[in-house]
Amino acid sequence: MTITIDTPVTFSLIGQRVSNQDYVYPADEWSRLFIVCDGIGGWDQGEVASQLVAEAVARFMQQHPTNCINETYFAEALASAYYDLREFLIKNPLLSRLGSTLALLQLTNAGATVVHIGDSRVYQIRGGAILHQTQDHKYVQELVSEGIITEEQALHHPRRNSLSRSVGVDSNRFPPRMDKGEITHLTDVQAGDYFFLCTDGVIEQIDDQALGNIFSRYAFSQEIVNHLLTLCSNLTRDNYSGCLVKIKSVSKEETNFSY
């Protein structure tokens, strides 16, 4: 298939924090790669980490283009990010830990590939209905999935903000633990679909039902983003960033993801 898109709408705001540790990789209507990252809270220079991770992964993928991201390929992309993070720590010995989440969308002639690490999300939304949503890599989410605690208990768990996966390095741990990206291939892509990449600040106070209602209410990407920004500015304490991609057209010649 051949996919065209409207010009993406991106945003990144500081919220009620003292610095903005999110990073949105630049995109336009010709882009096929979209990335949003969020520096890990409590670690050093999250604004540096998020940009290093996004740019390293994008650089690798641009230098080694593929129609199908698989586990081996993406591990190599992440290795570039880990290398850049480690190099930054070496050059800045007063720092000890750098890390970030990652949310990525790639559009190809086979559909869409979504990769995520941490709690930055990617949604596919059609007519206000959420068709696909990444599951956060959080400690409490694993407990919920295993039936150890309930969703309600997770909301108040002391480790509710702890990530179970991230792209991060620690000067006291070498080689670093290299978490894997969770990869999903989506072949059901239609004109009018939205893909929305966002950091956790966007969904801090906006649940899935509210998000779906916003997408069903407004016809244009900028209107959707404007409404999200209004809600976030009133409700969100964290940085809030996102990239909204609307599918303009899809031609249906048969193409498969090839490894």
pLDDT at residue 72 in the model: 97
- Write down the mean pLDDT value for the chain: 93
Task: Name the band, by pLDDT with cuts 50, 70 and 90, for residue 204.
Answer: confident
Instruction: Give the domain extent around 226.
Output: 2-136+165-251
Domain membership of residue 169 (yes or no) is yes
pLDDT of residue 259: 52
pLDDT(254) > 70: no
Residue 55 pLDDT: 98
Q: Which of 116-125, 163-172, 235-244 has the lowest mean pLDDT?
A: 163-172
205 CB burial (10 A radius; 0-12, 13-18, 19+): middle
C-alpha 256/C-alpha 259 separation (Å) is: 10
- Residues 6+ away with beta carbon under 8 Å from 257: 67, 68, 108, 110, 111, 113, 185, 187
Q: Each residue of 56-84: pLDDT tens digit?
A: 999 999 999 998 899 999 999 999 999 99
In a domain, 75, yes or no: yes
Q: What is the pLDDT averaged over residues 176-189?
A: 93
- The reply to whether 142 falls in a domain is no
Our count of domains for the chain comes to 1
List the CATH number of the domain containing 226.
3.60.40.10
Percent of the chain at pLDDT > 70 equals 98
Q: What is the DSSP string of 66-132?
A: -SS--HHHHHHHHHHHHHHHHHHHHH-TT--EEEE-EEEEEEETTEEEEEEESS-EEEEEETTEEEE
What is the spatial distance between Cα 255 and Cα 206, in angstroms, rounded to a whole number? 36
Show the tokens assigned to 3: 């996919």
- Domain membership flag for residue 86: yes
Residue 107, in any domain of the structure:
yes
Which one is predicted more confidently, 42 or 45?
Answer: 45
Q: State the DSSP code for 215.
A: H
How far apart CA 95 and CA 119 sit, in angstroms, is 24
Is the residue at 61 inside a domain? Answer: yes
In a domain, 27, yes or no: yes
Between CA 251 and CA 83 the distance in angstroms is 39
Q: What is the pLDDT of residues 186-198, one digit of tens each?
A: 999 999 999 999 9
pLDDT reading at 160 higher than 80: no
95 falls within a domain:
yes
Q: What angle do CA 145, 150, 153 make, to 5 degrees?
A: 125
**Alpha-helical regions (H) of 137-255:** 139-145, 151-155, 208-217, 221-235
In the chain, the amino acid numbered 213 is N
- Note if the pTM is more than 0.85: yes
Ramachandran angles phi, psi of 167, nearest 5°: -105, 100
Query: Do 215 and 224 contact (CB within 8 A), yes or no?
Result: yes
Calculate mean pLDDT across residues 131-146: 90
59: three-class secondary structure by DSSP: helix
